[in-house]
Amino acid sequence: METKNNTRPTSCKASLFTDEPQKQEATMWRNSRNLRDIYSKLSRCVERRSMSNLPESTVYGGPKSKSPWKRVTLRHLEAKYQTNQPITMVTAYDYPSGAHVDRAGIDICLVGDSVGMVVHGHDTTLPVTMEDMLLHCKAVARGADRPLLVGDLPFGSYEQSTQQAVASATRMLKEGGMDAVKMEGGGGSRVQAAKAISEAGIAVMGHVGLTPQAISVLGGFRPQGRNVDSALQVLDHALALQSAGCFSIVLECVPSPIAAAVTSALKIPTIGIGAGPFCSGQVLVYHDLLGMMQHPHFVQVTPKFSKQYASLGNVINDALSQFRDEVISKAFPSPVHTPYRIGEEQQQAFAEALEKRGLHGAAEAVSAAAVKDATAGEPTIKTPLD
């Protein structure tokens, strides 16, 4: 008897099929392959974090933010600015701080070169390198999905030429996962750098007033704009950066009337830090506002304008001291925190194996620990026995 071959042909071309059902099957198979190819390409595309200044229709994959707020873009900041809604910005330096800033609904998360002082313990921001910044930017980007991510260009990464500035800014986006960069100063070469970065398609935030990277010229961390010449210079630098294409300007440590004048003269948002209440928004350093550090060195460099919304440093110190005391007194770990058990049969077999190896003390330790576990009671969280 003749057997019928039901094996699917290796080609999907409809011309190989003579009846309509087979043509339909071939079409469905071809479409499914096309869909699989498209899905594979999209999967590769969304492995990286979508830049928040891209169109909202951009495909985004990966873990979804639990924050109820939508991703912040430059359009969102512009809408806030036009409707006089204050803009919020906080620094972050690692995955946990990035996640906290994200969950709090902060608009802009700045990975600042202040990391050199509050994380690495330097007296200034000058020692921070590009590699340092990229490391911290990557960590923050993994924790903060929703806010606009801005990375500080560190000292020495953009001063030599516009080519160096564009190259450093490009690395911030490609390697660091940032949406924009921030750079300090509003002099001629800084303005040219900001213009070159902006023309390269990278969003730039300016920074005038007290610029910590220029403390050797300023004579230390000194407020600016306290006389006419200095105030006009702050204004001129801000206007020049606006003309260069900056989307926002940080005003640091200037009197509030000066900040008010600059904010009024500009057509882009100002973000104040120690600049009074008349800016378009405000920024504080993560460690400062949380009161995380009690070290004498940190107390010396904590800015006068910073408000502490918590005293986490005291909480941390108390917790560490309590841990130390409980370890010394052997109160930790208690049965509650000793969740792993071994079956009685396996325990006895293990003790016997130790005895055969001549490890009598180890075998006795097994038995003593088992008795103590039995008398201590069952752990709150049990784990299944193998």
pLDDT tens across 72-104, in order? Answer: 999 999 999 999 999 999 999 999 999 999 999
Model confidence over 371-380: pLDDT tens digits? Answer: 888 887 766 5
pLDDT at 349 (0 to 100)? 95
pLDDT higher than threshold 90 for residue 274:
yes
What pLDDT, on a 0 to 100 scale, did the predictor assign at position 57? Answer: 46
DSSP 8-state secondary structure symbol assigned to residue 8: P
Is it the case that residue 16 has pLDDT exceeding 50?
no
Task: State residue 215's pLDDT score.
Answer: 72
Comma-separated ranges of CATH 3.20.20.60 domains in the chain: 74-313
User: Is the alpha carbon torsion for 248, 254, 257, 261 positive or negative?
Assistant: negative
> What residue ranges in the chain does DSSP mark as E strands?
87-91, 108-111, 148-152, 180-182, 203-209, 248-252, 270-273, 281-284
User: Under CATH, which number does the domain 74-313 receive?
Assistant: 3.20.20.60
Please write the tens of the pLDDT for every residue from 59-73: 444 555 555 567 999
What value does the mean pLDDT take over residues 322-347?
Answer: 90
Catalytic-role residue among 131, 159, 252, 355: 252
Give the gyration radius of the chain's Cα atoms. 30
Mean pLDDT of the residues in the chain: 84
Lowest average pLDDT, out of 171-175, 199-203, 223-227, 352-356, goes to: 223-227
175 is catalytic: no
